[in-house]
Amino acid sequence: MTLTTTAPAVPWGDALGQDAAVDVLRRAAADPSQLAHGWLLTGPPGSGRSTLALAFAAALIAEGDHDVATMKQVQAGSHPDLTQLRTEGVIITIRQARDIVERSYYAPSIGRHRVIVVEDADRMTERTSNVLLKALEEPPEHTVWVLCAPSEADLLPTIRSRVRTLRLRELEVDDVAQLLVERTGVDATLAEQAARHAQRHIGMAHRLATDEASRERREQTLRDVLRARGIGDVVEVAGRIVQAANDDAKALTAERDEAERASLLHTVGVADGAKVPPAVRSQLNALKEDQEKRAKRSVRDGLDRVLTDMQSLFRDIALLQLGRTAGLINVEFLDEMRELGSAWGPRRALAVLDHIAETRGALGHNVQPTLALESLLITIVSGRKP
């Protein structure tokens, strides 16, 4: 018996505020003449790139808008004709790239197309990107690649020339706030604050709206930065930020790490508490290595989030110095920002913003986080009155 429904099964509606992009992808999935073999979905973090990529994959694999069973399987990530690459390390490795390239040459098993979705495609090094080039240039007839990245500039020109780029629009605070109210039930005031503080990043806004500890940690970090005056404060605040990022990473990964280890041991038939056979140790070591990479990525993402929050703070200060109050992100710190802005010249606020960008780049090159943050905070406190 075929399951049918009166409403389209593809969850295009989850791609909040991306009506134009949805229209392009919906038509491409239905009309072979409009379907490119490679796509690049670009947009700021939290704009819904991955959500839209998965909805597109569901439309490509299913036999029509009402093939509910297939679409649910794609959305769950368990359909045999869908390959997703989500890196939980700092970069996408060459081995991972070679694995998905190999899969891209398989014919679809039961669906209309084989779809390869690469999230965080900007995390490919040049050598890794080159692994994908031939597969993107000469893919099998029924294989479609969907890459996701913040912008076209994050990928090599050789990759960009082989795909069709679709830019997602930047969401409004009200759009994200409305989504939070609908999905979480939080009150409208908290939803607006979370959307504003997250700078319209849907995932981060959801976390801020539903996790009081995350909201408190963000507020305390910005207060610490605003109150810092001397070298002693710099050392203390930098250490506190790094420690919070590490603690947050452990909280997010510890339970999952243990569950993965238990699952592996169960799969190979090792009972709880039993001695691990030598033949299994290599698998456990490989798992541990992957988990350590994931933890490192989690810490780095946490520090990047702090830098994003600091960037919003000093952007607001720069706007206030120019006499603008519309579009401020951190209105809760209005008095403190005005005080600091009046004590600084506009060039100092811009210098801090430049240093934040440099710090983000330094962390991307594995500079010791505490030292990088201390250097940034020294720029902030220099010249301030004790």
DSSP per-residue string spanning 205-255 = HHHHHH-HHHHHHHHHHHHHHHH--SHHHHHHHHHHHHHHHHHHHHHHHHH
Q: What angle do CA 101, 106, 147 make, to 5 degrees?
A: 40
Is the pLDDT reported for residue 2 higher than 60? Answer: no
Write the pLDDT tens digit of every residue in 155-179. 889 999 999 999 988 788 998 898 8
Name which of 60-64, 287-291, 321-325 the model is least confident about: 287-291
| Six token digits for residue 324 | 């603008």
At 375, is the pLDDT very low, low, confident or very high (cuts 50, 70, 90)?
very high
Give the per-residue pLDDT at 3. Answer: 33
- Contact between 71 and 177 under an 8 Å Cβ cutoff? The reply is no
Q: Quote the pLDDT of residue 28.
A: 93
The DSSP result for 271-312, as a single string, is PTTPPPPHHHHHHHHHHHHHHHHHHHHHHHHHHHHHHHHHHH
pLDDT digits (tens, 9 = 90+) for 36-56: 999 999 987 777 888 899 999
Tens-place pLDDT, residues 190-209:
999 999 999 988 888 988 99
Distance CA 235, CA 221 (A): 13
pTM for this predicted structure: 0.69
AA letter at 277? P
Residue 287: predicted pLDDT: 75
Cβ-based neighbours of 174, under 8 Å, separated by 6 or more:
192, 195
pLDDT in the model for residue 268: 74
- pLDDT one-digit tens code per residue, 246-281: 877 777 676 677 777 777 777 777 777 778 787 777
Q: H/E element holding 39?
A: strand 38-42
- Phi (first) and psi of residue 322, to 5 degrees: -90, 5
Residue 330's pLDDT is what? 96
Q: Is 187 left (phi over 0), alpha (psi -120 to 50) or beta?
A: beta
Q: What is the pLDDT of residue 7?
A: 42
Distance from C-alpha of 139 to C-alpha of 116, rounded to nearest angstrom: 11
CA–CA gap between residue 261 and residue 337 (Å, rounded): 48
**What is the predicted pLDDT for the residue at 1?**
30
Domain range summary for the chain, segments of one domain joined by +: 12-167, 173-227, 231-381
Mean pLDDT of 367-373: 92
Which two three-digit tokens encode residue 293? 């990479």
Residue 91 pLDDT greater than 80, yes or no:
no
Mean pLDDT of 216-224: 93
Average pLDDT of the chain is: 85
- Measured distance CA(96)–CA(99) in Å, rounded: 5
Q: Is the pLDDT of residue 385 over 60?
A: no
Q: Percentage of the chain with pLDDT > 90? A: 39
Residue pair 326/196 in contact (Cβ under 8 Å)? The answer is no
Instruction: Give how far Cα 68 sits from Cα of 15, 16, 315, Å.
Output: 18, 21, 46
CATH architecture, range 12-167: 3-Layer(aba) Sandwich (3.40)
Q: Name the H helices within 31-125.
A: 49-61, 68-75, 94-104
Q: What is the pLDDT of residues 107-128, one digit of tens each?
A: 898 889 999 999 888 888 888 8
Averaged over 86-90, what is the pLDDT? 67
